[in-house]
Amino acid sequence: MRDRFAPESSVYRYVTEQARKIAECHGFSEVSTPVLEHASVFERSLGADTDVVGKELYKFVDRGDDMLTLRPEGTAGVVRALLTSQQLDGKPRRLFYNGPMFRRERPQKGRLRQFEQFGVEMLGHNHPTADVELIRMGWSFIQHLGLSKSAQLEINSIGTASDRAQYRLQLHEYLLGVHDRLSADSQRRMHENPLRVLDSKAPEDQHAVQNAPRLLDHLTEDSKNRFAFVCGMLDAVDIPYHVNWRLVRGLDYYNDTVWEIKYMDEQLGASQDTILAGGRYDSLVQTLDGHRTAPAVGWAAGVDRLALLLPSDTCTVSTAPTVAVISVLEQLKADDSAASPLERDAAVHAAAQTVADGIRAAGYRCVQLHHTSGKVQRLGRLLAAADADASATVAVLIGGDEIAAGQVIVRHLASRQQITCTREDMTQVLARILSDHR
């Protein structure tokens, strides 16, 4: 825990303002949660065997005999806030937060006991396009900071809880065979949570697990297909990535897609090289509530580590009308021979991501609407969602016919005026429609 003055405080402000700008351009709104929470919020959600719960929580009993803790991360608190305020009503939520977190770790460069995070959470979307949007959003943030040339995106799938339970048994059996080659920490962890041995930074552990079984080989077909879709979408939109089979993340609430962005030079040191990390956490709402469920995905960036890599600067954030981008999908026919709806619709989803990027680059706030996984939602319902859920003024539609013609449809939601134009003319048409309906 430490004090900050200018010019260091200016760097922190710059990082968080850039992150806020990216989040708002993606249609996210701000949420603020208390620094103090009931300890059970994190003990139930993060996992009893995690280092955070086992060794790093700052917790105490207050005068009312409540066990409280300084928050160690942001996601569980955001989900708790949505549950207690009755805002998980079936509508999708896009939220971002910024503030201090606390863990009792050994202080070192880029790792403080009080550290600052910026995070985003998207709840209500189970389609893997949501995973891709958030990965791209995080990568765009790192690009805007000018750090992407020295950064590497690493991704993996950790499947379902059932996948991991079966894999954990095989991994534990393997680790028993190399027990004497592991570090002291990993010799302890292999019995408590063997997956944590995989992402150990100790050289002896990295060498010992080289021939360990791969979690990717033990996934269900649904998880394998989902991960293949995410990788294919990242290829389609030219986001460079590396599949790291040892990437498991340190908190129990994750499932399926997980990722980290690492800074690859030696400024931060090997054990502090992760500057942004995230993943899908579809079971967290049910873990905290006991009844309701909601698919969710999010990421958090370490502001302290990013600030170490940047010079002092400032930025301003502009506001603009919201534009919704909608993928227009064909209804699945009985004789459709495509391998899966995900595979069939991938080109449309990729084009929609690219269109959304172009709109954001022009300075507009843009929300991409995601279909429910395994279903094709009717256009009328998506247009209604663009108005009611995303508070959009204009929708941009793209489907197979538009891709073939190199066009999009720009539709003003209130007046229903719509114009078909080339993708090159899209931002000019957007400006004209918005000007006509001020």
Q: Say which residue the tokens 């279909």 belong to.
A: 371
The whole-number pLDDT of residue 249 equals 81
3-state secondary structure (DSSP) of residue 102: strand
How would you classify residue 249: left for phi > 0, otherwise alpha for psi between -120 and 50, otherwise beta?
left
The whole-number pLDDT of residue 68 equals 94
Q: Say which residue the tokens 């460079």 belong to.
A: 240
pLDDT tens sequence across 350-366: 999 999 999 999 999 99
The whole-number pLDDT of residue 269 equals 64
Q: DSSP for 248-281, please give it.
A: --S-TT-EEEEEEEEE-SSSS-GGG-EEEEEEE-
The whole-number pLDDT of residue 158 equals 96
Portions of the chain given CATH number 3.40.50.800: 323-436
Q: Is 133 annotated as a binding residue?
A: no
The whole-number pLDDT of residue 210 equals 92
Positions of the chain with pLDDT lower than 70, given as ranges: 1, 47-51, 54, 110, 267-272, 312-320, 331-339, 341, 374
Q: Is 253 annotated as a binding residue?
A: yes
Portions of the chain given CATH number 3.30.930.10: 7-159+219-314
Burial class (CB in 10 A: 0-12, 13-18, 19+), 434: middle
Residues 394 and 433: beta-carbon distance below 8 Å: yes
Q: Is 75 annotated as a binding residue?
A: yes
Task: Name the DSSP letter for residue 85.
Answer: T
The whole-number pLDDT of residue 336 equals 57
Q: Is 330 annotated as a binding residue?
A: no
Q: Is 117 annotated as a binding residue?
A: yes
The whole-number pLDDT of residue 318 equals 47
Q: Is 73 annotated as a binding residue?
A: yes
Q: Is 74 annotated as a binding residue?
A: yes
Q: Which CATH superfamily is domain 7-159+219-314 in?
A: Bira Bifunctional Protein; Domain 2 (3.30.930.10)
- CATH tag for 323-436 (out of 3.30.70.100, 3.40.50.720, 3.30.460.10, 3.40.50.800): 3.40.50.800
